[in-house]
Structure 1
Amino acid sequence: MVKNNISFYTIKKICTISFLLCSLFLLLSLNQSEATEPRPLDEKIVYFFELNEDIMPAAERRVTRALAEAEEKNADIVLMRVNTYGGMVNVADSIRTMMLNARPTTVAWIKNNAASAGALISIACDSIYMSRGSNIGAATVVNQTGEQMPDKYQSYMRSMMRSTAMAKNRDPLIAEAMVDETVEIEGIIDAGKILTFTGEEALAAGFIEGKAESIEEVLSNMGIENYTLHRYETSFTESIINFLLNPLVNSILLLVIIGGLYFELQTPGVGFPIIASVVAATLYFGPLYIEGMAANWEILLFIVGILLIALEIFVIPGFGVAGVSGIIVTVTALTLALIQNDGLDFSFPGMENVAFAFFRVSITLLVSIGIIIFMGGNIANLRFFQKMILADVQDKNEGYTSADFSLRDLVGSQGLAVSDFRPSGKIEIGDEQYFAVSDAEWIKKGERIQVVSLKGSNLVVKKVK
């Protein structure tokens, strides 16, 4: 028994020692592999990206991703080329906070403009360089039409500019003068004017580190000659979002939404038109939601509008409150999704932008109606749709049979319309109700009808005169 116990413990110790030795060998191997190509002590890793757009949620996503990639690459310096006229204050505040808390040294290289929110973001960087002809300042908070916002917005912006400048050892009074026209700085700005610096003026005031015309010159001015440069690359998702936000593409999606709904209502049953409409609505609202323009309640408003229109067509007789309300609600939702409103507060986008968005949606709606009127009767004859539908005649003499004999037996029968036809509705024959499509005429509820044919699974009816 003793021998067996000793043998067992001996084996256990050998296994334990072997495991530890293997683990140590693996660690040493990993360290050796990492040390095979050591980075020179004086070499810096520089990560470069551009901020050349309005300061909107897309810009915040870009900066977030850029800083994350810089961390992954263990970058020493993050170089951001700035060219923006500004944007949303809350987004600028988020980007400012990210730059203030970033581990690498952050550098703003202003190429042309760093106005308003762009000035705030630039001041949040450790160093600022400006190219020839560039400007920084004019940070008064305005709406999208250029009108100055109330003082509560200005007060918040003044505070952010001061605290950000102080955090980076810049003159807080100069930063405040970019927002507040009452600030006077001898030799720099008189009271009654908003401060905007040229590169030469900013350098003379000691507000920036220098001037530069290229990445190489920026880094050379910082005393960096030996470096590895990594550049930000636009992702496939960003490219798709930018494409879908194009006004032309946006308008085409609106056409598909409206046209799909119409043709689906003309031929009831979930098919290609409604699928196209749903996909178009997703592609319309999705990018706008990601951009922070379409809010949850605006998308819900659109869905409610569509449901009201469907309720009017299939349930409630006549064209009344539900139908009109549905159209108004749907158009309102499509319009609000295009502007940067805060609930029912339109002070930031301004009424001019609201009116322009409404004009865009209205024009698209009118174009859709025109296309429907022009193509409605001939859409099935288009080559595109001919490829998607069954055009061959399936003669019963060749062995083809209908899957629903009861509907075919209704051809020639008469009954009553139990809803208005626009152009589809409900009929009653005997004690049964069926969906049907009018044969190119308006049929009101209560009028007598006759089934004239069966197209696919749809009964085609006409009014009995």
Structure 2
Amino acid sequence: MGRHVRILFFLFLMIAAGMMMPFFSGAQSDNATVHFIPVEQTVESGLEAFLDRSITEATEEGTDHIVLEIDTPGGAVDAAGNIAEIIQNAEVPITAYVTSEALSAGAYIALNADNIVMDPSAQMGNAAVVDGSGNTAGDKAQEAWESNMESAAQSNEHDRDPDYARAMADPDELLTMNAEQASDVGYAEDIVTDREEVLAYLGLEGAEQVESEVSLAEQLTRWVTNPMIIPILLTLGGVGLIMELFTPGFGLPGLVGLGSLGLFFFGHLFAGFAGMEAVILLILGLILIVAEVAFTGFGIFGVLGLASIIGSVFLASFDTTQILFSVLIAMVVVVIAAVLLFKYFGKIGFMQKLVLQNASSESSGDADETVTDETLIGQIGRSLTPLRPSGLMVLAGEHFDVVTDGTYVEADSDVRVISVSGPRIVVRAVH
């Protein structure tokens, strides 16, 4: 009788343990964590840096799963390739959750994940590879891209039919699938409507949801490393600096130029593309520009400074072809700006060191007679611009182009005329 009691007691314990299993399973899921990382807007180097940081942090925090929430029209192929490598090397399983669009490079990123789930209204595909001008790439680049798409489709245990991946990349087909179509051909493991259904598919109901957010610095980095923004920043930087060479003192053009270059280098430094050699060359270029503005460089310091800055831009870039295109755009605009500045403002700035202009008079049409009047000698005027050593002076309501006897004179300083020789008026600071 005692033996039967023990057997019944043992069976009771087994039944009770079986009934308690769901509770223990639920407790385990509650302790699990899933990181949700947004993959949004254009695929470019800034997104690559953000995903690298986010996946690394999620792994170090011991997350159980990573979900990439994808909504992107695509972007740079090289950045997509680097992101795919980051996903493949991740130590944590990754699921791609297509919330709206996974087009072009976005489709390639999704195919490299361990699983793909899609919102009912989402679509994936249209993965043509184009160049920086929006034209279809050459045959070799196209073939390589189609091969990469096929490899991505077969990179996980689902072993998806590679023909669909090739059709997505084929410029003659550009296949785009909605969620139902992707599910039918094995390119989506499930159709979900929200994160809770994603967790249910993963078997992690009740898991803690951790959302990775793009920091302010990363948002700025994504903006300034965008291939459409880089030419604008370089153009503003170049025009700002060239205007400083033509205008006296340091003002708004210089601030705009330095600010634009600063944004460019900040973004590329933060993203990890620029090294110290690029920064050193940039600083050297800026020092030469300052030397041109402050001293008599006759344009030499300015040219060397601009060359150094251009060299630092190339060193900081992540794509030589793209940065060459951007620099060429900037140089064309800068040359046009320089021609206009020389034509309309050539009397101001370092051009006065090359050509001494005739003095102008607001009240008299015959400037030469006024300039050669030796009665100016000994009179005291006021410098309108810095004299380094040439610039503008006002005397008795008239403006004159003058040159110092070799010393630097700040703007708004008293100066005395010490000699007049033809159109040449030499002044000296009054102390």
Normalised by the shorter chain, which TM-score bucket? 0.5 to 0.7
**Of 197, 204, 215, the match for 1:235:** 215
Shifted more, 72-81 versus 279-288: the winner is: 279-288
What's the counterpart of residue 101 of structure 1? 89
**Of 196, 203, 215, the match for 1:216:** 196
Unaligned residue ranges in structure 1 (runs of 5+): 1-37, 182-191, 377-410, 415-420, 427-435
What's the counterpart of residue 179 of structure 1? 169
C-alpha separation in 1, matches of 2:212 and 2:408: 62
C-alpha separation in 1, matches of 2:292 and 2:181: 65
Q: Higher relative contact order by CA 8 Å / sep ≥ 6: 1 or 2?
A: 2
Shift in alpha-carbon separation, 1:305–1:455, aligned structure 2, 3 A: closer
Matches within 5 A, 1:307-456: 307=288, 314-315=295-296, 317=298, 322=300, 342-343=319-320, 345=321, 424-426=387-389, 438-439=392-393, 441-443=400-402
Cα drift, residue 301 of structure 1: 8.1
Shift in alpha-carbon separation, 1:266–1:170, aligned structure 2, 3 A: same
Residue pair 1:261, 1:277 contacting (<8 A) in 2 also: no
C-alpha separation in 2, matches of 1:71 and 1:324: 49
**Of 12, 27, 43, the match for 1:40:** 27
**Of 138, 147, 150, the match for 1:159:** 147
Shift in alpha-carbon separation, 1:88–1:293, aligned structure 2, 3 A: farther
Cα drift, residue 284 of structure 1: 4.2
What's the counterpart of residue 368 of structure 2? none
In structure 1, what residue type is equivalent to 2:248?
Answer: Q
1:193 matches 2:173 = yes
Residue pair 2:93, 2:114 contacting (<8 A) in 1 also: yes
What's the CA shift string for 1:296-347, capped at 9, x where partnerless?
A: 7799589659848956994565x7xx5895698599789x78x98843x35x
Shift in alpha-carbon separation, 1:117–1:302, aligned structure 2, 3 A: farther
Root-mean-square deviation (Å): 5.2
Shift in alpha-carbon separation, 1:331–1:455, aligned structure 2, 3 A: closer
Shift in alpha-carbon separation, 1:257–1:204, aligned structure 2, 3 A: same
1:266 matches 2:253 = no
What's the counterpart of residue 285 of structure 1? 265
**Of 64, 73, 78, the match for 1:90:** 78
What's the counterpart of residue 23 of structure 1? none
Cα drift, residue 67 of structure 1: 1.0
Shift in alpha-carbon separation, 1:112–1:102, aligned structure 2, 3 A: same
What's the counterpart of residue 170 of structure 1? 159
Counterpart secondary structure, 1:82 = strand
What's the counterpart of residue 112 of structure 2? 124
TM-score between the two structures when normalised by the length of structure 2: 0.62
What's the CA shift string for 1:233-292, capped at 9, x where partnerless?
A: 2334324546777969959974995499459x7359xx9998997566434432255458
What's the counterpart of residue 75 of structure 1? 63
C-alpha separation in 1, matches of 2:259 and 2:413: 25
C-alpha separation in 2, matches of 1:273 and 1:126: 51
Shift in alpha-carbon separation, 1:360–1:276, aligned structure 2, 3 A: closer
Unaligned residue ranges in structure 2 (runs of 5+): 1-24, 349-376, 394-398, 423-431
TM-score between the two structures when normalised by the length of structure 1: 0.58
In structure 1, what residue type is equivalent to 2:387?
Answer: S
What's the counterpart of residue 205 of structure 2? 225
C-alpha separation in 2, matches of 1:83 and 1:143: 22
Counterpart secondary structure, 1:110 = strand
C-alpha separation in 1, matches of 2:72 and 2:112: 15
C-alpha separation in 1, matches of 2:203 and 2:109: 24
Q: How many residues of Structure 1 are paired with residues of Structure 2 in the alignment?
A: 348
Shift in alpha-carbon separation, 1:200–1:459, aligned structure 2, 3 A: farther
C-alpha separation in 1, matches of 2:245 and 2:132: 35
Counterpart secondary structure, 1:65 = helix
What's the counterpart of residue 5 of structure 1? none
1:144 matches 2:132 = yes
1:207 matches 2:192 = no
Counterpart secondary structure, 2:149 = helix
Counterpart secondary structure, 2:163 = helix
C-alpha separation in 1, matches of 2:289 and 2:121: 56
Residue pair 1:260, 1:276 contacting (<8 A) in 2 also: no
Shifted more, 284-293 versus 124-133: the winner is: 284-293
Taking only the aligned residue pairs, the percentage that are identical comes to 24
C-alpha separation in 2, matches of 1:81 and 1:412: 78
